[in-house]
Structure 1
Amino acid sequence: MPQPPGRASRPRTAPAVRPPKPCPGDEVAVVSPSRGLPGDLPLPYELGLRRLREDFGLRPVEYPTTRGTGADAQARARDVNAAFADPRIKALIASVGGWEQITVLRHLDRDLIRANPKPFFGYSDNTNLLLFLRALGIVSYHGGMVMTQYGRPGALHPVTAHSLRAALFGAGEYELPEVGAFSETSGPWTDPATFATEPPAEPADPWFWHNPHGVVEGAGWGGDLEIVSWLLMANLAIGDAADYAGGVFFMETADSMPSAESVYVILRSLGERGILGQFSAVLVGRPKTWSRAHRLGAPEKARFRRDQRAAVLRALSEYAPDSMAVFNVDFGHTDPQVVLPCGGRIRVDGPRRKIVVTY
């Protein structure tokens, strides 16, 4: 029986294809598979495009729906397909996230994309496309969107810029840094004054290690936990439990700030499906505890982080008691952000308290 439209072939246990990297001077596609927010909020977008050109030496190419706020799923998929098909395009970079990218997957041309693998960078709602590509056997990159990382107010964060440069242009191993300060607040994107200064920083909780008794290495898989749950419900880009054996699961939560109970319930579903227990290690991104809709004070922020960690540990104790876990890793919706390879190798060294990815 043929696969339903848009359903990716099941993830592979063999190493995925790592597409060739762009070089300075190359053209890269800037696409909006989730929503054409650059059309409504041009300030961070134009800043991000300028930094792609001037700081990274790349030549961004926009597509018809990149700034199209009303584009439907088929039109957005056509742009993604066209970017993979165009031999001049050497990588794809998402403009921003959103909430409806899952509707695009059924319109993507799997055979065309398999035949023309290219690096794709994005996170948040772009978890849909990251895991779709992983299911096709193609390494993609969790992180680095135009409006958020490249378009950061004030200046590119040096930690983010270093990781982006290594992931975009480099190959080989990259050790993730542990930072002492981070930011999660932002002024309105409609106000030019927002972009005159860098976001305010606050002290960062250190990495928290659970079961740090050995060294594990496996293929990375994961992203925004809520998007993972949507893919589970739709049965898209999700394989059999054995496909994840020995892998490294990375999860983070976004501006919607799901409750600790919601985090546990999603992980419980992964556990009941037999997937959570297959991972040799779990990386948990520093949780977002502020958004324009949820403005928590310092005590509430600390409680939110503690409760989320407790929820993850509860799920691990029930479904993956021997797995190593590291919390407060900076790969999610907070700032700075490091890039993780989805499908690429991640090594978690408990005794030495190190995390090393292969770009």
Structure 2
Amino acid sequence: MTAPRYPAKPEPGDTVAVVSPSSGLAGILPLPFEWGLRRLREDFGLKVVEYPTTRKMNSTPQERAADVHAAFADPEVKAVLTSIGGDDQITLLPHLDRDLLRAHPKPFFGYSDNTNLLVYLANCGIVAYHGGTVMVELGRPGAMHPLTAASLRAALFTSGPFELTEPRETRTEDKPWQDPATFEAEPAMEPADAWTWHNADRVVEGRAWGGELEILSWLMMADREILPADQYAGRVLFVETSEEMPRDETVYRILRNMGERGLLRQFSGLLVGRAKAWSFQNPHHADQRAEYRSAQRKAVLRALSEYAPDMPAVFDVDLGHTDPQVVIPLGGTVRIDGPERRITVTY
């Protein structure tokens, strides 16, 4: 397989598309969406165009695929951002036109259920960007977190190496988006666990591949967009888990099955996102959050010990369902420098 190429980047003043390939949640929860659109316009200096299903719940996969096609094919649109994730984007994939997307490569931003499209685009030969949704990162109450803003701005507008910064704080609890008071102040933060390094005795570098672990497991179950194992040789795997907070045993089993498929041993390194450990359904207190994250780390290490014992890994990297959040270029280069304790991505 030919390595994915970086699409041309927009500049301030350009037009970007906002689409909802998963859920039209923007239509029933407009406050964070409008907040995020305003930041795109005022802080990032971009013009924004929406498509018919952006604020429409229960759109068909065909309708959402048509919006993705229109956004990529429009010569005025220089990048495509997603509003939010969802849970059925896998049904969109059969309706996508691979030739159309290849003919009009553009930076695409999203994560969570958008892992489906990120992996699809990488298989089309297009580097895609894991992170930066309109409703969550751009629509953050009060202000964007500075580390999030710096990473998203670099990924959106620039090309070249970007060193990730280890944060001192993290957000765990969310506030209801239906309440206007939620957006009057920044979220409460708490001290962040430091990155945890495993087998940090070497430097590894490779093309990034991964995303939300639950979605990757669905792609494998549906036999969609997963290449033969040897196609991942030397790549850097990155994984994270969602607000559905899968059990540590579930995390282990998914990785075990990747190991049985021959995938895990192909990767040269692993980045594991800081686990989301609170939700409205599971409002864990501080000790429970710490216990959940510890159990998930142990689950990953268990799988590595069985299938890739020598693999360097870094835990609690701020990718995916976390705040602050860094953007990871799927198909782009990632460098893990164990001796120097540095992670560099190339946007």
Please indicate the TM-score interval, normalised by the length of the shorter structure.
over 0.9
Identify the residue that residue 266 of structure 1 maps to in structure 2: 254
Identify the residue that residue 219 of structure 1 maps to in structure 2: 207
Offset of residue 15 of structure 1: 2.6
Identify the residue that residue 89 of structure 2 maps to in structure 1: 101
Question: Separation in 2 of the partners of 1:286 and 1:342?
Answer: 18
Whichever residue aligns with residue 188 of structure 2, its letter is: P
2:160 pairs with one of 163, 172, 182: 172
Runs of 4+ residues over 2 Å off in structure 1: none
Q: Is the 8 A contact 1:186 1:194 kept in 2?
A: no
Question: Separation in 2 of the partners of 1:327 and 1:133?
Answer: 26
Q: Is the 8 A contact 2:84 2:136 kept in 1?
A: yes
Whichever residue aligns with residue 174 of structure 1, its letter is: F
Identify the residue that residue 3 of structure 1 maps to in structure 2: none
Question: Separation in 2 of the partners of 1:157 and 1:144?
Answer: 12
Question: Separation in 1 of the partners of 2:186 and 2:340?
Answer: 33
Pairing 1:252–2:240 present: yes
Q: Is the 8 A contact 2:4 2:123 kept in 1?
A: no
TM-score (structure 2 length as normaliser): 0.99
- SS of the residue corresponding to residue 299 of structure 2 reads helix
Q: Is the 8 A contact 1:184 1:333 kept in 2?
A: no
Offset of residue 16 of structure 1: 1.1
Question: Separation in 2 of the partners of 1:90 and 1:299?
Answer: 45
Q: Deviation digits for residues 4-40 of structure 1, max 9, x if unmatched?
A: xxxxxxxx3x431110001111111100000100000
Number of aligned positions between the proteins: 347
2:175 pairs with one of 166, 176, 187: 187
Give the alignment of 1:317-328 within 5 angstroms: 317-328=305-316
Q: Is the 8 A contact 1:182 1:202 kept in 2?
A: yes
Identify the residue that residue 151 of structure 1 maps to in structure 2: 139
Question: Separation in 2 of the partners of 1:212 and 1:58?
Answer: 40
Pairing 1:338–2:326 present: yes
1:314 pairs with one of 278, 302, 306: 302
1:296 pairs with one of 284, 305, 310: 284
Q: Deviation digits for residues 191-238 of structure 1, max 9, x if unmatched?
A: 000000111101100000000010000000001000000000011111
Question: Separation in 2 of the partners of 1:313 and 1:239?
Answer: 24
Offset of residue 282 of structure 1: 0.4
TM-score (structure 1 length as normaliser): 0.96
Pairing 1:347–2:335 present: yes
Question: Separation in 1 of the partners of 2:259 and 2:58?
Answer: 38
Identify the residue that residue 71 of structure 2 maps to in structure 1: 83
Pairing 1:67–2:55 present: yes
Offset of residue 341 of structure 1: 0.3
Identity %: 63
Question: Separation in 2 of the partners of 1:96 and 1:332?
Answer: 12
- SS of the residue corresponding to residue 52 of structure 2 reads coil
Whichever residue aligns with residue 212 of structure 2, its letter is: D
Whichever residue aligns with residue 276 of structure 2, its letter is: K
Whichever residue aligns with residue 112 of structure 2, its letter is: S
Identify the residue that residue 133 of structure 1 maps to in structure 2: 121
Identify the residue that residue 196 of structure 2 maps to in structure 1: 208
Q: Deviation digits for residues 264-290 of structure 1, max 9, x if unmatched?
A: 000011111111110110000000000
Offset of residue 60 of structure 1: 1.0
Pairing 1:24–2:24 present: no
Q: Deviation digits for residues 135-186 of structure 1, max 9, x if unmatched?
A: 1111000000000000000101110000011000001000000011100222
